[in-house]
């Protein structure tokens, strides 16, 4: 989205990029993936480990539009609320898929495919991996409605 559009600051806020506005287009792309129907590429922000060996990374939950009732669940969530990850081995598109649940059996939808393998590795290294709600945007387009954050100790 162009910086000149009136809704740009709201767009940045939905992505958790509030502040002085010094973000670059690459930071926005890394947070959203910049998907377009005609794209043949996908931009991702690689997971980074801090000096203490901790990985902290935000991600937008994928596929919210495909679950009737996700909007109601998202409206009830608060930043900092824990969510659960659940394996979905019967997923026809990715047998390694991970559902993001409010509680057992209440799926919001999926960890994006580009992040799934990294989270499987992190869960093996840190069984206490945490996923929390970073930001809820129920009035946003579906791909921006729920921003979560993973936090784990890397092996």
- pTM of whole model > 0.75? no
Q: Which residue has the tokens 């669940």?
A: 73
pLDDT tens string 43-66: 666 788 888 999 998 898 988 877
Q: Domain 46-153 - what CATH class?
A: alpha beta
Listed residue (151, 146, 56) closest to 102, CA to CA: 146
pLDDT tens string 137-155: 888 887 788 899 999 998 7
How does the average pLDDT of the chain come out, rounded?
Answer: 81
Lowest mean pLDDT among 53-57, 77-81, 102-106, 119-123: 102-106
Task: Please report the pLDDT score of residue 26 as a whole number.
Answer: 58
β-pair partners for 49: 55
pLDDT tens string 61-76: 988 877 777 777 888 8
Domains of the chain, by residue range, sit at 46-153
* Strands (E) located in the chain: 54-60, 82-87, 98-101, 107-110, 130-136, 146-153
Please tell me the number of Cα atoms within 13 Å of 124 on its side-chain side: 6
């Amino acid at each position: 989205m162009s910086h000149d559009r009136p809704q740009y600051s709201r767009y940045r806020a939905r992505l958790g990029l509030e502040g002085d506005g010094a973000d670059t287009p690459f930071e926005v792309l890394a947070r959203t993936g910049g998907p377009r129907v005609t794209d043949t590429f996908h931009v991702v922000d690689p997971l980074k480990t801090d000096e203490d060996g901790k990985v902290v990374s935000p991600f937008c939950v994928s596929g919210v539009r495909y679950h009737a009732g996700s909007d109601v669940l998202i409206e009830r969530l608060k930043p900092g609320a824990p969510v659960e990850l659940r394996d979905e081995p019967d997923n026809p598109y990715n047998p390694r898929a991970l559902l993001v649940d409010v509680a057992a059996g209440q799926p919001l939808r999926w960890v994006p495919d580009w992040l799934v393998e990294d989270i499987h590795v992190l869960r093996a290294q840190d069984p206490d991996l945490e996923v929390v709600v970073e930001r809820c945007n129920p009035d946003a387009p579906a791909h921006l409605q729920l921003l979560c954050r993973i936090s784990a100790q890397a092996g």
